[in-house]
Amino acid sequence: MLTRLRPPAWPAIFGIPEPSAVAKGKTLFKDQCESCHASIDRTDLKSEIRIKQTWLRDSETPKTDLAMTCNAYGKRAKTGVLQGTVTPRGPHKLENEAPVRDMVQVTIGGAINNQHWAVMKSIALSFLRLQPDPEVIPFVGASGSDDTEAVKAFGKAKALSECLQAGRGYKARPLNGIWATAPYLHNGSVPTLYDLLLPADERPKSFYVGSREFDPNKVGFVTTESAENSFLFQTRDASGKIIDGNSNIGHEYGTGLAKSDREAVVAYLKTL
């Protein structure tokens, strides 16, 4: 199924993007965005996709929130039924405890290498609670405790340092189907494509989520408070300090565009 899966096309019910705006936006995208986000036809399932890696430790980074990549890099857990299986990276066998990223590689590799029935059986048993869920291992500092603020701060700083030294980062993929993936940035901290093209200090600091009502103009979900849109996502706390993991700064590419140019880029993104 994956070999036949295509990004979704912009629905005609949302209105056809104005051709002149699309043409203008395409030119702006080529000048402002294409060096990172390669262009590829939505229906092209054969061509090699060029993806640019952005490194968090480099001086020229998108400066988006670090939590997603560093959490993924640093999390460890009990391997359970995966203990003893060989990882594609190395290769080496999984011990009693291992990075979750290695466990994911083993699971995907097993499914690809004709072990899908064994993988599906393991998943089904977990779902039915017939085998225990993976046990997440908390960070324990020198004091032997994992519940003090000092230990948590030390663990956070240590994990971040290791993550940056390891060269973790994010990948700038082609933007096919980007209109259907709101909210934006790696942590969902920017509600619409239009807001993403604003300077960081002009982006919404908070917005409501939960509604599936689509905003075809700004391209994202409606963010006003309602019965179904009742959860308030906040990028900053009451004192104005950025909440860890919720930062909406960074990726300030194309944010200096005039309003009409910004709207043209959004019109073009609808066509990808």
- Tokens representing 9? 């096309």
- Predicted confidence (pLDDT) at residue 30 exceeds the cutoff of 80: yes
Q: Among 3, 13, 97, which residue's Cα sits nearest to residue 46?
A: 3
Distance of alpha carbon 35 from alpha carbon 52, whole angstroms = 8
Q: What is the mean pLDDT of residues 229-234?
A: 94
- Tokens representing 198? 């604003």
Phi, psi (degrees; rounded to nearest 5) at 183:
-80, 170
pTM above 0.75, yes or no: no
For residue 245, count CB atoms less than 10 angstroms from its CB and return exposed for 0-12, middle for 13-18, buried for 19 or more: middle
DSSP code at position 73: H
Q: Residue 83 — very low, low, confident or very high, per pLDDT cuts 50/70/90?
A: confident
- Confidence (pLDDT) at 151: 39
- Confidence (pLDDT) at 89: 65
**Mean pLDDT for all residues in the chain:** 81
Q: Residue 194 — very low, low, confident or very high, per pLDDT cuts 50/70/90?
A: very high
Q: Among 210, 193, 179, 213, which residue's Cα sits nearest to residue 255?
A: 193
Q: Among 173, 175, 174, 177, which residue's Cα sits nearest to residue 9?
A: 177
Specify whether the CB–CB gap between 235 and 166 falls below 8 A. Answer: no
Of the two residues 111 and 102, the one the predictor is more confident about is 102
Distance of alpha carbon 74 from alpha carbon 101, whole angstroms = 9
- Confidence (pLDDT) at 200: 92
